[in-house]
Amino acid sequence: MELVVDKLAVARGGVTLLEGVSFALAPGRALILRGPNGVGKTTLLRTLAGLQPAVAGRVSAPPESLTYAAHADGLKAVLTVEENLGFWAAIHGVGGVGDAMARMNLLDLRDRRAANLSAGQKRRLGLARLLVTGRPIWVLDEPTVSLDVASVALFAGVVRGHLAQGGMALIATHIDLGLDEAAVLDLAPFKARVTVGSGGFDEAFA
């Protein structure tokens, strides 16, 4: 299965931010999304993940083939690391909790409640969740926020492993993940022309 995005237009707060976004992502490939703050990276990823409707265009992949990881990691504060991953594994009907903890360096923290993890540890747990979804297309919004250098490298290795198994990844990031094999899509050329007075507060003062 390939992810094909065709002439997609996305909006936030009633303002169209991006228009005519088209790309194809084959199994085993990653695409890095770049563009200045506010251009619409998060909005595009949320639209692809089915969390909000598109203004126009088509997405070939069904929502259940994607998993989205963003700033709110969806962690259950009172559950331990292992219980959190067990919860998501049960929802998706897959196993692999031990493997996910090992790959994101969480084994020593398996019995700690999510509420008591540091910011970077929470992030590692949020990313370990990807491994227990069993979903082929990872849609990641700034996945490395709060991660130290070693954890960024660990995460890049996990993404590589996912790609090697025929998975796909779409990643909005301002930092270099070291995924040299990934293609890069600069969203600035897709920015919609916004007429001042149309309701776009940012654009009116740009």
Per-residue interface string for the shown chain with ligand ATP, residues 32-71, x marking contact by CB under 6 A:
---x-xxxxxxx----------------------------
- DSSP 8-class letter at 74: -
Residue 136 touches ligand ATP, criterion: CB under 6 A? no
Angstrom CA distances, 61 to 5, 41, 130, 162, stand at 9, 19, 17, 18
In the set 6, 12, 50, 87, which binds ligand ATP (CB under 6 A)?
Answer: 12
**Which of 37, 195 has the CB closer to ligand ATP?**
37
**Six-digit token string for 109:** 């923290």
**Which of 161, 199 has the CB closer to ligand ATP?**
199
Q: How far apart are CA 4 and CA 74, in angstroms?
A: 27
**Which of 80, 144 has the CB closer to ligand ATP?**
144
3-state secondary structure of 202: helix
Cβ burial 123-140 (10 Å sphere, 16+ → b, else e): bbbbbbbbbbbebbbbbb
**Which of 82, 203 has the CB closer to ligand ATP?**
203
Shortest spacing between CB 103 and ligand ATP, in angstroms: 27
Count interface residues toward ligand ATP (CB under 6 A): 12
Q: How far apart are CA 177 and CA 170, in angstroms?
A: 13
The residue sitting closest to ligand ATP, measured at its beta carbon, is 13
Residues that bind ligand ATP (CB under 6 A): 12-13, 17, 35, 37-43, 202
